[in-house]
Structure formats: structure tokens, C-alpha cells
């Protein structure tokens, strides 16, 4: 792939890690935009970006990577999309897709750019540029949501993801993405918060080990971002919450009625699912 100029908008944990991975592992030029001037200074100082990006750069860039909250990403494209080249790829890093892809696709036709959706499947229970890392995506899955983009653009993003260290690229639709993410990511985050609200949580020290640590880890949440992500995928997430509560309720009923056979059967089913997956 020939050298491209890539503008990262929003240098938080994900945008910062994307910038660092691009600068460390690919030959491309990386520019960055952020509302916080200190973050921009830091990003230049550590080599994550070549320099701050400006509105005047937009007509010249090859890829615009929106690493903002979902609706802010759409707004940025609406405001600046017309300034881009017709061959400029606009992509995003949003954790939900139904609420952003159709809008960005529409804008791409209206304003003249190429849209390819994306979701890097990696994160941390801390936020901000300070905790971003070039190796955050090592071995992780890159969810590519082409939304009818031309093949060359899809291939560019796929190649770029692999150059950055992602372990695999999975192509999907916004609908399937959101259904799966509700289960694999949003539900565990909701669960972690619900779990630590028990009155027993503050006294867990000395009485806990790996299973407490693992379930509660992501309760250290960015509530502003996740409120938006949850509400913009509310049907799929609500369905997962119902499924989980039904399964918990079945376990509770077996416990309350001292029904050892049913309880053992439910736990066995859980074990068998994991074993079938080879996990």
C-alpha cells in the first residue's frame, strides 16, 4: 500500500491507540485532531501523530478516522464531509453500528466521500490518550462493516487493520454487529455495574479472588459514552438482559426449591457450551 495521509479525530483511548499503531507499524502519515491542546502536544511529543491536523488539511487527506462518540462522529462528517476528496475514506470506531452506519452512508452519497464502518474490538477499563497503546489491538478482532463501499476501500481498511496488529478482520452488517455486541460487550458492562451495586461489594477484600475481579473489572465505566452506546442499541441489549435474567431466575428457582437435578443440569449446560467452544 502506498503512503497515505490519515487524520484521526479524537485522541482518546481508541483514537490514541489507532494513531500510535499507525505510526509505529505502518508507513502512513498520521495527523490528529482533538479538543484538548495538551493531548495534541503529548501526541506529537510521543510520536503518535506527525502534527496537529487542521480543517485546511481535510481536502488533502486519504482517510478520515472518526474516533468520537457515535453522534459526534456523525456530526463531524455532516459538517466537514463536503471538504473531503471524493476518494477519501471516512471510517469510524464506534461500538454500535445501526445508529451510525446508515447516516454516514447517506452523508457519503450526499457530500461525496467513501464510507466504510469499523469497530476495533479492544478496550481497557481506563480512558484517555494517556492510557492508549500502540499494541492495544495486537491479536484482536477488527470488525469491518462495509455498508456497500467499493471493494478497493474495503480492502484498504482490511489491509490497514492487519498492518496495525489486529489478529483478524471480520466483515459484517450493522444489524448483526449490534446483535452480537449487545451480548459480548454491552451485557458484560451492564452486568459489572449491576454486580458491584451489591451491599457486599465494599467489603469484598480478603474474601475475593479471580471471579470477583473478572466480573467487576469493567464496572469502572465511562458512563457518558456507555449511556449513549446502550440507548442506541436498546432493543438488542434489552433482549440480552431479559435472556440473562431468565437464566439467572431458573438457577435461583432450582436453588430455592433445593432441586439438585435441575440445578446441576443448568450448570452442566453452561460447562458444555464452553467446552464445545474449546474454551
We find the least distance from the C-beta atom of residue 45 to a second copy, in angstroms, to be 28
Report the residue number, 85 or 204, with the smaller CB distance to a second copy.
Answer: 204
Report the residue number, 44 or 121, with the smaller CB distance to a second copy.
Answer: 121
- The H or E element containing residue 120 is strand 117-121
Report the residue number, 44 or 195, with the smaller CB distance to a second copy.
Answer: 195
We find the least distance from the C-beta atom of residue 124 to a second copy, in angstroms, to be 9
We find the least distance from the C-beta atom of residue 120 to a second copy, in angstroms, to be 9
Report the residue number, 91 or 172, with the smaller CB distance to a second copy.
Answer: 172
Place of cell 491479536: 139
We find the least distance from the C-beta atom of residue 262 to a second copy, in angstroms, to be 10
We find the least distance from the C-beta atom of residue 93 to a second copy, in angstroms, to be 14
Report the residue number, 46 or 170, with the smaller CB distance to a second copy.
Answer: 170
Amino acid at each position: 500500500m502506498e503512503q497515505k495521509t490519515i487524520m484521526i479525530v479524537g485522541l482518546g483511548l481508541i483514537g490514541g491507540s489507532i494513531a500510535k499503531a499507525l505510526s509505529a507499524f505502518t508507513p502512513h502519515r498520521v495527523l490528529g485532531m482533538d479538543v484538548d491542546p495538551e493531548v495534541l502536544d503529548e501526541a506529537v511529543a510521543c510520536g503518535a501523530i506527525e502534527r496537529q491536523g487542521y480543517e485546511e488539511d481535510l481536502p488533502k487527506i486519504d482517510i478520515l478516522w472518526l474516533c468520537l462518540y457515535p453522534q459526534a462522529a456523525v456530526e463531524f462528517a455532516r459538517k466537514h464531509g463536503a471538504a473531503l476528496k471524493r476518494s477519501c475514506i471516512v471510517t469510524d470506531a464506534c461500538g454500535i453500528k445501526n445508529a451510525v452506519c446508515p447516516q454516514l452512508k447517506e452523508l457519503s452519497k450526499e457530500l461525496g466521500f467513501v464510507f466504510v464502518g469499523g469497530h476495533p474490538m479492544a478496550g481497557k477499563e481506563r480512558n484517555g490518550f494517556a492510557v492508549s497503546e500502540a499494541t492495544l489491538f495486537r491479536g484482536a478482532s477488527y470488525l469491518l462493516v462495509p455498508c456497500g463501499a467499493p471493494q478497493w476501500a474495503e480492502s484498504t481498511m482490511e489491509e490497514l487493520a492487519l498492518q496495525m496488529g489486529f489478529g483478524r478482520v471480520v466483515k459484517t452488517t450493522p444489524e448483526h454487529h449490534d446483535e452480537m455486541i449487545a451480548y459480548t460487550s454491552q451485557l458484560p458492562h451492564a452486568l459489572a455495574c449491576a454486580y458491584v451495586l451489591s451491599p457486599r461489594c465494599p467489603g469484598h477484600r480478603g474474601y475475593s479472588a479471580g471471579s470477583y475481579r473478572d466480573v467487576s473489572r469493567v464496572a469502572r465505566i465511562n458512563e457518558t459514552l456507555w449511556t449513549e452506546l446502550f440507548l442506541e442499541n436498546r432493543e438488542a441489549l434489552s433482549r440480552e438482559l431479559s435472556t440473562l435474567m431468565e437464566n439467572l431466575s431458573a438457577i435461583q428457582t432450582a436453588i430455592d426449591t433445593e432441586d439438585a437435578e435441575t440445578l446441576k443440569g443448568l450448570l452442566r449446560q453452561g460447562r458444555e457450551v464452553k467446552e464445545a467452544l474449546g474454551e
